[in-house]
Amino acid sequence: MNRFTAIGILLLLTSTTGAQTFDRLFHNRTLRVDFYHTGTKGQESIALDQCYEEGEWAGSRHNLIDNLNRGEYQARVYDVATATLIFSYGYSTIFNEWQTTGAAAQGQWRTFHESVLLPLPKGKIQFTISRRDKQMNFREIFSSVIDPNAPTQINRSRRTPQFKATPLLQNGPASTKVDLVILGDGYSAADLEKFRKDARHFNDLMFATSPFKERRQDFNVWMIEVISEESGISKPDANVWKSGALGTAYNTFGSARYVLTEANKTLRDLAGQVPYDFVNILVNDNRYGGGGIYRLYTTTFATSDQPGRSAITSMCMSSAIPSRAWATSTTARRFRTRSSIRRKSSRGSRM
């Protein structure tokens, strides 16, 4: 047996073992844990909101422990029966960026709604959230026991999809691919054809750009035709207010071009009708702008000259799509080196 055959067998055995571990501990469904994150500069607290059972699990069935060491926070899941860590997930939040603002420094308090997605466990779990300390080590700040077999702990109601979902790229099962969902905000019913064009343009541009071009077969992409009451999104600095379905707006934390939404529950409800790892929101407006938070979502303006390459950069840096499809590339290795030198995990990406 040559060494290449041996390596192949070892990889196959590792993959098989990972799948067996998943099947023993989890259902092929998604558990969405919603909670409220409240605080000001130097202070924070987390309160559980509700847990939801959603569709098929879009994440890996093999790599259940997050070893990337990115993000300001890390959710950890322990099997109560054995006290074993069975799942972890690094991420950042709008809240931790809020803590860097002048308003927070002056003692103003804010509350943000947040979610963590994990595979639906078969047994009782200890769900914890940890945050980095000044030495960049994770320290636990929240813990709650969740029993998926207790009928009152998980909302299992089936939501009827509100908007049409269309696959733009399908290369295989969600658990073996990076699953991206594109939603629109500020697109009225009369703008839907424009949204379809914008979404396809973004998709085509993304997969014409390295390293995504070389890893196209590793992705699935969906678009959801979200309809807003009117065209455009809010620009508070110009006293322009719109009723967008997803609530995106310019002027986040006083930055004119920074586009985020705080309507987390609405976003999760709409995105959850398809399996997804990452979310990109196309905003139908004419001001240059966008942004994103690591493993939360990215936003991209989509009127002036269509979504551009800046959107691809934002997707790489904020949504960390490299975590699976980009992980072996030279560019990714350079990105990881830069990330280990500079603390990027606590800030969002702004355009």
Tell me: pLDDT of 320 over 60.
no
Instruction: Decide if 95 contacts 39 (C-beta within 8 A).
Output: yes
315 pLDDT tier (thresholds 50, 70, 90):
low
At residue 303, the pLDDT reads 62
Average pLDDT, integer, range 234-243: 96
Q: What is the mean pLDDT of residues 292-313?
A: 74
pLDDT score, position 306: 52
pLDDT higher than threshold 60 for residue 337: no
Q: Are the CB atoms for 99 and 302 separated by under 8 Å?
A: no
Residue 231's pLDDT band, with cuts at 50, 70 and 90, is very high
| CATH topology for the 25-155 domain | Immunoglobulin-like (2.60.40)
Average pLDDT, the chain: 86
In three-state secondary structure terms, 305 is: coil
Fold equal for 25-155 and 165-350? no
Could you read off the pLDDT of 97-141 as tens digits, one per residue?
999 999 999 999 999 999 999 999 999 999 999 999 999 999 999
Q: Which helix (H) or strand (E) holds 282?
A: strand 278-283
What is the percentage of the chain residues whose pLDDT exceeds 70?
81
Question: What is the share, in percent, of the chain residues with pLDDT greater than 90?
Answer: 76
Q: Are 10 and 74 in contact (CB under 8 A)?
A: no
What are the structural domain ranges in the chain?
Answer: 25-155, 165-350
Give the SS3 label for residue 72: coil
CATH architecture of 165-350: 3-Layer(aba) Sandwich (3.40)
pLDDT at 19 over 80: no
Pairing of strands 178-185, 278-283: parallel
Phi, psi for residue 228 in degrees, rounded to 5: -100, 160
Please compute the mean of the pLDDT values over residues 145-172 and round it to a whole number: 95
Q: Please check the confidence at residue 313 and state whether its pLDDT lies above 60.
A: no
Of how many residues is the chain composed?
A: 351
Q: If you average pLDDT over residues 74-99, what whole number do you get?
A: 97
8-12, 29-33, 56-60, 123-127: which has the minimum mean pLDDT? 8-12
Q: Going by DSSP bridges, is the β-strand pair 278-283/297-301 parallel, antiparallel, or unpaired? A: parallel
Mean pLDDT on 276-304: 90
Query: Looking at this protein, which amino acid is placed at residue 265?
Result: K
pTM equals 0.86
How far from each other are the two terminal CA atoms of the chain, in whole angstroms? Answer: 53
The pLDDT value recorded for residue 18 is 63
Identify the band that residue 20 occupies on the pLDDT scale cut at 50, 70 and 90. confident
Torsion over CA: 91, 94, 100, 104 (sign): negative
At residue 321, does pLDDT exceed 70?
Answer: no
pLDDT the model gives residue 210: 86
